[in-house]
Amino acid sequence: MIKLEKFNVSDYDCLINWVDTEELMVQFGGSLFDFPITHQQLDTYTKNENRLIYKVINLDTNNTIGHVELDKIDYKNKNARISRVLVGDQSNRNNGFGKKIINAIVNIGFKELKLHRLDLGVYDFNKQAINCYENCGFEIEGLFKENMKVGNDYWSTYNMSILNTKKNNYVRN
């Protein structure tokens, strides 16, 4: 079991320690951050009012194990983007936490915020994350080819989405 709690300044160092390579930083944050992530960057990041940022707590150990956010929240059009999903410590990966995190953030978006649509971006080589998102009900909408330059390489990004429908066991607005 997990719970999501508001991410705050006391969580900065934990996140900074998890994101310990430039490649992981790009996978985690896209072009939002410069490596290495600093307190100043996180101060700016947390001040955005169209963003709900959470740390993920493992209720069995009461330890912080991850990070997730709802970004670009658009109440008029009832949609938002799930961003910066991370199971931080290697020892917590491959234990089903990713699916629990996604289900928890989808519940916030659909049940608490009454949104209709959530989407996310995932790099095309991240097969484990793609499988996780599909298992949570997300569908691939399209591919942004070579849209992110990392070193001398270009990475491509799938856009995936889920709608708040009875099929997905969420209350329709």
The DSSP annotation for 15-27 comes to HHHH--SHHHHHH
In this structure, how many other beta carbons lie within 10 angstroms of the beta carbon of residue 164?
A: 23
Encode the chain (173 residues) as per-residue pLDDT tens digits.
999 999 999 999 999 999 999 999 999 999 999 999 999 999 999 999 899 999 999 999 999 999 999 999 999 999 999 999 999 988 888 899 999 999 999 999 999 999 999 999 999 999 999 999 999 999 999 999 999 999 899 999 999 999 998 777 654 33
Look up residue 37 and give its DSSP letter. Answer: P
Global pTM value? 0.94
Contact partners, residue 54, CB within 8 Å, separation at least 6: 4, 5, 6, 7, 67, 68, 69, 105
- Domains in the chain and their CATH numbers? 2-121 (3.40.630.30)
